[in-house]
């Protein structure tokens, strides 16, 4: 059966060989595809029920920010750029690229944040969503030592953390943390984690007026990823935890998609407080190293990924062949359902001259980032005060692709894997081996100077804070390869400098009727710099930018009200609205209508988010407490964006000024209606019990703009399919029940804390985590006319029942 099945599959792959050239290794990295979806779990796992100091979050934000790990949840449906992370006054949430640096966030989560709140101002930072700031001084760490052992079933299996902090005398303080996580995921095949973190802080204090601190952190890690796929694959395998990224090799599971991160961070901070009303700080930070992700490359061959569309029965026009493919998939043969590493090695072995037809690569980013921040805080009589300062940053990322494994071959050639053109005309026909660079090599440099300030005024129960920040930023790409398709300045050497003036302004007004009864109004507006991937057309290869680059504009408001309910509870209510305009997005993809690789530039994107959040917490008794939260809103496109399509190789305009009929579509797969209930009980003997129920609804598959263009709609096979493109697929409602047990006790003078949590207690396995629409379309001829049908959406499923247990021993 295996031999027959393998033969049929190889036959299908040979037939689909030419079509396979239309599949880029990163085709699934389009908007909506999973990049990192585990930050919430990492933080909760690390925190172990720790409540950050100074946390002014509402009941809803505390439950929702880390609670909805079973769905693609984003706070208020907003972009990640509105969440800010600061370390000693330095900015670490404004990345060059499109994706947040979850690797850094996960490492920082092992440290105790000085402040974490929903919206508002912290040390000169303002965000309408979340502001998390971390201190680096060892004197701010609680004294003592602790060791934590962790068992997990999600993404890793075991963990160990050691922490120590204390005074060395004569004003010296020392704090350090070591942490490791390792092992394979208990439920998702091919997913694993091998992550370590070490942090050291040394601080010298001169009385209470001055201090000097040095903070060093290194967090090397590698993590096997999982991919989303079409529902047909889940049905054929009968497994909602199916992962197409791995295959058996040498008696183990080998994952083709692994993320690596080795980027140490160093921060030095000087503080001076000449009086109670004055405080100054100077901090500088340097981050360097390499982060990368692996994948597979193929030339003039079929895609090695098992869920490539030509390998699926649903994409096969021949009924008999479709039946055979379905039978092979249902058989569970790993040579069919997973990456067949042995076949890839065999293909290279029989290539004749040793040239690789398949090989493994790494897409690398070498960081070289420096920051300097000078901040101050001043108080004055009559309730006046303010924060002010400047931040300077120089960001340099060298992005390049290297050969990770030739899979038994002797060499490969530095040509475009899918077009066969020379990747670097200055060195044509260059042979490459393991560790050599190929395909692309370029630099992205950004220099930015930010000035910010805020003014605070307090009078009785009234509090007003006004502030703004203005930056001057320059961005430039420098190509190191002269591409054959567009040589010269279009690909090699520096691009024109892009100059922006990002800004942000805010006003926060608060009235405290009593310490527990208050109302807060926030107004904010700003202009935000686009990520470089959304400014350059195919930034891996060319210096060409989109037409008329501009800032993304945002304006919003929120109103928060809290009032005590009797002697035992508090009622919270919040309303928010935010509108963004002039957002841009660039997508490189294979266009089935033009039958070539294209760059899709979407401009004039407008989004409107609004909603209400309700929360109630009550201390029923000294030991029993209840928290209830509910939110509903709307996260939709506010207008139809404009679309331009250019051929990737020549940048010739193929479609000019079309529109994508996106107005009214939900722009995120985050749920628009959520609810949660948390019940906690503590005993006199230090037992703790918690039960939480979480529910998410009004979730939609994330749409792609290409499908709604007038050009694509005109090419649909029927009016029914055309109408289907103007609708958005709704995902089913999702809900889980989680439970937790904790126990604290003293044993021979040592404090021991034990915790156990079970997520998705009922073991529900049909929860769709999220989904996105593919860019590809199937082409066929009907009545002498070519018509098109969009590919099915891709989905990911949430984890079933999982266990997280830990034991912490404190000295």
Contacting residues for 350 by C-beta, under 8 A, at least 6 apart: none
Contacting residues for 714 by C-beta, under 8 A, at least 6 apart: none
Domain residue limits at 148: 139-209
Task: Tell me whether residue 150 is in a domain.
Answer: yes
State the average pLDDT over residues 770-792. Answer: 87
Whole-prediction pTM: 0.91
Contact 531, 93 (CB under 8 A): no
Q: Where residue 433 falls among pLDDT bands split at 50, 70, 90? A: very high
Task: Tell me whether residue 354 is in a domain.
Answer: no
Q: Total structural domains in the chain?
A: 1
Task: Tell me whether residue 192 is in a domain.
Answer: yes
Task: Tell me whether residue 338 is in a domain.
Answer: no
Q: Is the pLDDT of residue 744 over 50?
A: yes
Distances (CA, A) of 435 to 256, 311, 356: 17, 32, 15
Quick check: helix, strand or coil at residue 416?
coil
Token digits for 271?
A: 């503080």
Q: Is the pLDDT of residue 758 over 50?
A: yes
Q: What secondary structure does DSSP assign to 594-644, as a single string?
A: TTEEEEEEEEEEEEEEEEEEEEEEEESSSSEEEEEEEEEEEEEE-SPPEEE
Q: Is the pLDDT of residue 453 over 60?
A: yes
Contact 89, 98 (CB under 8 A): no
Token digits for 758?
A: 């079970």
Predicted confidence at residue 119, as pLDDT, reads: 66
State the average pLDDT over residues 232-252. Answer: 96
Q: Is the pLDDT of residue 402 over 50?
A: yes
Alpha helices in 158-242 (DSSP H): 231-237
**Nearest 10 degrees: Cα torsion 232, 237, 243, 245:** -90
Q: Is the pLDDT of residue 15 over 70?
A: no
Q: Where residue 116 falls among pLDDT bands split at 50, 70, 90? A: low
| Helix/strand/coil percentages in the chain, nearest 5 | 15, 55, 35
Please state, as a whole number, how many other Cβ atoms lie within 10 Å of the Cβ of residue 157: 17
Token digits for 763?
A: 């073991």
Q: What angle do CA 638, 643, 645 make, to 5 degrees?
A: 160
Q: Which residues of 748-776 are buried (b: 16+ CB within 10 A; e: fewer)?
A: eeeeebebebbbbbeebeebbbbbbbbbb
Please state, as a whole number, how many other Cβ atoms lie within 10 Å of the Cβ of residue 2: 12
Token digits for 409?
A: 């071959």
Q: Where residue 97 falls among pLDDT bands split at 50, 70, 90? A: confident
Task: Tell me whether residue 168 is in a domain.
Answer: yes
Task: Tell me whether residue 580 is in a domain.
Answer: no
Q: What secondary structure does DSSP assign to 740-771, as a single string?
A: EEEEEEEETTEEEEEEEEEESTT-----EEEE
Q: Where residue 13 falls among pLDDT bands split at 50, 70, 90? A: very low
Q: What angle do CA 543, 546, 552 make, to 5 degrees?
A: 120
Task: Tell me whether residue 107 is in a domain.
Answer: no
Nearest alpha-carbon partner for 117 in 134, 137, 132, 107: 132
Task: Tell me whether residue 783 is in a domain.
Answer: no
Contacting residues for 636 by C-beta, under 8 A, at least 6 apart: 607, 608, 609, 663, 664, 665, 666, 667
Which uninterrupted H or E stretch holds 45?
A: helix 39-47
pLDDT, tens only, 540-578: 999 999 999 999 999 999 999 999 998 899 999 999 999
Contact 796, 765 (CB under 8 A): no
Q: What is the DSSP letter of 709?
A: B
Share of the chain above pLDDT 90, in %: 73
Nearest alpha-carbon partner for 444 in 545, 324, 293, 354: 545
- Determine the length of the chain: 811
Using CA atoms, how far apart are residues 243 and 305, in angstroms rounded to an integer?
11
């Amino acid at each position: 059966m295996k031999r027959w099945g393998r033969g049929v599959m190889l036959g299908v792959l040979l037939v689909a060989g030419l079509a396979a050239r239309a599949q880029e290794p990163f085709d699934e990295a389009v908007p909506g595809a999973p990049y990192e979806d585990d930050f919430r779990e990492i933080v909760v796992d690390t925190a172990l029920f720790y409540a950050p100091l100074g946390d002014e979050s509402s009941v809803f934000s505390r439950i929702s920010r880390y609670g909805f790990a079973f769905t693609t949840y984003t706070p208020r449906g907003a972009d990640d750029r509105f969440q800010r992370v600061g370390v000693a006054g330095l900015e670490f949430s404004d990345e060059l690229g499109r994706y947040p640096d979850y690797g850094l966030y996960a490492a920082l989560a092992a440290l105790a944040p000085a402040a974490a709140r929903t919206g508002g101002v912290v040390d000169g930072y303002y965000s309408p969503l979340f502001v998390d700031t971390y201190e680096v001084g060892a004197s701010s760490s609680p004294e003592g030592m602790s060791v934590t052992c962790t068992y997990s079933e999600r993404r890793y299996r075991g963990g160990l953390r050691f922490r120590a902090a204390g005074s060395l005398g004569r004003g010296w303080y020392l704090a350090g943390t070591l942490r490791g996580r390792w092992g394979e995921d208990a439920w998702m095949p091919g997913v694993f984690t091998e992550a370590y973190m070490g942090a050291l802080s040394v601080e010298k204090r001169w009385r209470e007026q001055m201090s000097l601190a040095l903070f060093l952190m290194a967090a090397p890690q590698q993590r096997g990823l999982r991919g989303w796929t079409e529902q047909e694959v889940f049905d054929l395998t009968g497994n909602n935890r199916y992962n197409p990224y791995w295959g058996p090799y040498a008696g183990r599971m080998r994952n083709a998609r692994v993320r690596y991160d080795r980027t140490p961070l160093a921060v030095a901070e000087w503080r001076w407080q000449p009086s109670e009303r004055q405080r100054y700080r100077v901090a500088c930070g340097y981050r360097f190293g390499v982060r990368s992700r692996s994948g597979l490359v193929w030339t003039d061959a079929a895609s090695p990924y098992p869920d490539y569309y030509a390998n699926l029965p649903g994409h096969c026009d021949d009924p008999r062949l479709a039946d055979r493919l379905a039978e092979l998939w249902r058989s569970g043969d790993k040579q069919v359902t997973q990456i067949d590493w042995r076949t890839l090695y065999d293909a290279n072995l029989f290539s004749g001259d040793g040239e690789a037809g398949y090989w493994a690569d790494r897409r690398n980013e070498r960081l070289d980032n420096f920051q300097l921040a000078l901040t101050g805080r001043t108080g004055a009589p009559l309730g006046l005060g303010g924060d002010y300062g400047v931040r300077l940053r120089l960001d340099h990322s060298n992005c390049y692709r290297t050969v990770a494994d030739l899979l038994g071959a002797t060499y490969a050639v530095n040509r475009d894997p899918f077009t066969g053109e020379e990747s670097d005309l200055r060195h044509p026909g260059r042979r490459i081996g393991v560790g050599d660079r190929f395909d692309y090599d370029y630099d992205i440099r950004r220099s930015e100077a930010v000035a910010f300030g805020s003014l605070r005024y307090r009078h009785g129960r009234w509090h007003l804070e006004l502030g703004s920040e203005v930056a001057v930023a320059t961005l430039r790409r420098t190509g190191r390869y002269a591409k054959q398709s567009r040589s010269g300045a279009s690909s090699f050497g520096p691009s024109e400098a892009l100059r922006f003036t990002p800004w942000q302004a805010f006003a926060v007004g608060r009235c405290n009727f009593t310490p527990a009864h208050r109302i807060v109004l926030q107004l904010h507006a700003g202009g935000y710099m686009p990520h470089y991937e959304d400014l350059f057309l195919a930034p891996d290869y060319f210096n060409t930018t989109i037409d008329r680059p501009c800032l993304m504009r945002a304006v919003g408001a929120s109103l928060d009200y809290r009032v005590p309910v009797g002697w035992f509870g508090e009622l919270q209510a919040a309303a928010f609205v935010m509108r963004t305009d002039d957002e841009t997005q660039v997508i490189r993809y294979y266009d089935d209508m033009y039958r070539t690789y294209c760059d899709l530039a979407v401009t004039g994107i407008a989004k409107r988010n609004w909603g209400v959040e309700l929360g109630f917490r009550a201390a029923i008794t000294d030991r029993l407490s209840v928290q209830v939260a509910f939110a509903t809103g709307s996260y939709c496109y506010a207008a139809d964006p404009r679309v331009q399509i250019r051929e990737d190789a020549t940048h010739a305009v193929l479609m000019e000024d079309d529109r994508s009929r996106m107005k009214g579509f939900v722009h995120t797969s985050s749920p628009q209606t959520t609810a949660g209930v948390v019940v906690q009980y503590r005993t006199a003997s230090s037992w703790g019990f918690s039960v939480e129920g979480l529910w998410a609804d009004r979730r939609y598959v994330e749409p792609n703009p290409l499908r709604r263009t007038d050009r694509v709609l005109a090419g649909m096979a029927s009016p029914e399919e055309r109408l289907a493109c103007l609708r958005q697929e709704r995902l089913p409602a999702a809900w889980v029940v989680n439970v937790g047990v904790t126990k604290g006790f003293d044993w021979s003078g040592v404090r021991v804390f034990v915790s156990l949590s079970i997520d998705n207690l009922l073991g529900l396995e049909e929860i769709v985590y999220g989904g996105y629409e593919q860019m590809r379309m199937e082409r066929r001829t009907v009545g002498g006319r070519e018509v098109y049908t969009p590919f099915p959406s891709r989905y990911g499923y949430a984890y079933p029942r999982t266990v997280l247990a830990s034991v912490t021993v404190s000295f």
